[in-house]
Amino acid sequence: MSAFLNALLLGAGYNAALVAIGAALLGFAAGAAGTFLFLRKRALVSDAVAHATLPGVGIAFIVMVLFGSEGRSLIGLLLGSAVTAAIGLVIVEWMARRTRLSEDAAIGAVLSVFFGIGIVLLTVIQSMSSGRQAGLESFLLGSTAGMLYQDAIIIAVGGSLTVLATFVLRRPMTLVAFDAEFAAASGYSVRQIDLATMGLVMAVTVVGLKVVGLILIVALLIIPAVTARFWTNRSENVLWIASGVGACSGYVGAAISASAPALPTGPIIVLVSAAIFVFSLFFAPARGVAAALYRHWKFQRRVHLRQGLLELARGEPIFDTFTWRTLRRAGLIRRDGVATDAGRAQAAKAARDECRWDIARKAHQDTALTGRYDGLTPIEEVFTPDEIAEFDRLIGGPRIVRPGDHQGAPA
């Protein structure tokens, strides 16, 4: 734990601090770019882009070796991966638009073909007598242990430009994500905006090859956006929360990897992101599983409370255990099942509200009003005090619930 805290506070050495900052910057950019891909329901595009980068790495290495270099220039490898990723994007877009293939089928075809070509090229490179081939396979799963200062600068600059472009294009991308037809009618080119979104994803993918690799970058693009969706219903908030989740995942994952050198950084970053997702899945206040269960329990309690009050008003015995416990915990009945003063008052009001709703349905033809009755909505939230007074006049005097009108706790 002390080693982890030391790494978290950037005290684990220069290289560990460099990796943590670079991973945090990459996570922030990935969360921002992946948000609109997720909102557009095109998460699989990131998978195609990631796998389409591998041939570019191999081709760039071969070209640099042919020109007398060792072939290990990070800028050259990233440029090569960007070119083949762009080609893969164009092919996916063309196949989905000009053929009868669906987008997911086009993505599957591009993903498998490009990845296969990349593996073949890596095999050919391993048999070459020139160049420094060692470590090229790290582009599959990432390798941050050997990150240099210039590598961090590339990640910082590329990530910053991606975030800036995402912020500038956020409004048209949001409009296309939620209503592409309205965006087209408003004068936006949906195709160009989609290409811009995928271009941002491609940029993050290329920049992130050094940190998490082409296979795991997909998780860093999608998981933060999915996580953010649990916490808010506003698209702008999703953007910033996803960026924060991505940055936190990158930073904490790099710190964990630095405190336990045997653990690979890329997979740990993804696992941290997944842990935040699982926490959000269960404990997000609005959309989490725990909140949904609480809302269900609360609704069930209201239903049983209403039903119990009506049974008290009619003088019927309460046989349902949950109903009896709900009334008991609310202080509406005693242990022997006899209604308290508060119970009698609320039972009388519940019975009277039923009569009021009956009169309201007969007196009003407006279903927008009377259709709101679900047995739980207070009548005071629908009708004015004057209208309720008129209902009471038509009903007559209130019926008083006497203690002898009800009996018995559940057996």
Span 34-61, pLDDT tens digits: 898 888 888 778 888 888 888 888 888 8
Q: What is the CA radius of gyration of the chain?
A: 31
Q: Are 303 and 168 members of one domain?
A: no
Residue 277 lies in a domain: yes
Any idea which residue has 């500038």 for tokens? 168
The reply to whether 222 falls in a domain is yes
Residue 52, domain member (yes or no): yes
Task: State the Cα–Cα distance between residues 259 and 317, nearest whole angstrom.
Answer: 65
Q: What is the mean pLDDT of residues 324-350?
A: 89
Residue 405: its pLDDT value, please? 42
For the ranges 21-30, 133-142, 205-214, 305-314, the lowest mean pLDDT is seen at 133-142
Q: Is the pLDDT at 105 greater than 60, yes or no?
A: yes
Q: Are residues 166 and 302 in the same domain?
A: no
Same domain, 134 and 259: yes
Does 411 fall in a domain? no
Q: Is the separation of the CB atoms in 209 and 217 below 8 Å? A: yes
CATH number at residue 100: 1.10.3470.10
Q: What is the pLDDT of residues 76-102, one digit of tens each?
A: 888 888 899 889 888 888 888 888 888
Model confidence at 254, pLDDT cuts 50, 70, 90, reads: confident
Q: In the structure, what pLDDT confidence band is assigned to residue 400 with cuts at 50, 70 and 90? A: very low
266-275, 301-310, 348-357, 369-378: least confident range: 369-378
230 with 370, same domain: the answer is no
Closest by Cα among 53, 52, 49, 70 to 61:
70
pLDDT band at 354, cuts 50/70/90? confident
* pLDDT at residue 226 tops 90: yes
Please say if the pLDDT value at position 15 is more than 90.
no
Residue 231 sits in the same domain as residue 193 = yes
**Residue 380's pLDDT is what?**
83
Exposed, middle or buried, 188 (CB in 10 Å: 0-12/13-18/19+)?
middle
Token code pair at residue 125: 């490179």
User: 218 and 78 in one domain?
Assistant: yes
Question: Tokens 């391993």 — which residue?
Answer: 126
Residue 304 lies in a domain: yes
Report residue 409's pLDDT band, with 50, 70 and 90 as the boundaries.
Answer: very low
Same domain, 275 and 388: no
Higher pLDDT, residue 9 or 304: 304
The reply to whether 410 falls in a domain is no
Is the pLDDT at 355 greater than 90, yes or no?
A: no
Distances 18 to 37, 39, 135, 396 between C-alpha atoms, Å: 29, 32, 20, 80
Last residue of a domain, one of 258, 284, 310: 284
Supply the mean pLDDT for the chain.
82
The pLDDT of residue 408 is: 40
Is residue 192 scored above 70 in pLDDT?
yes
Same domain, 101 and 177: yes
Does residue 284 surpass a pLDDT of 70? Answer: yes
Residue 48 belongs to a domain: yes
Whether the predicted pLDDT of 274 surpasses 70: yes
Q: Rounded CA gap, 398 and 396, in Å?
A: 7
Residue 126 has pLDDT above 90, yes or no: no
Residue 138 clears pLDDT 70, i.e. is over it: no
Question: Does the pLDDT at position 315 exceed 50?
Answer: yes
Number of domains in the chain: 2
Of the residues 254, 284, 314, which one is the last residue of a structural domain? 284
Residues 311 and 394 in one domain: yes
State percent of the chain over pLDDT 70. Answer: 88
For the chain, give the number of residues: 411
Domain identity same for 33 and 166:
yes
Residue 84 counted as domain residue: yes
What confidence tens digit (pLDDT) does each residue in 286-304 have? Answer: 888 999 999 999 989 988 9
Q: For residues 373-389, give the mean pLDDT.
A: 80
Q: Are 201 and 325 in a shared domain?
A: no
Same domain, 277 and 318: no
Q: Provide the 8-state DSSP code for 339.
A: B
Tokens (6 digits) for 254: 């790099």
Domain boundary among 241, 256, 284: 284
Instruction: Show the domain range for 179.
Output: 2-284
Q: Which one, of 79, 23, 40, 21, lies nearest residue 225 by Cα?
A: 40
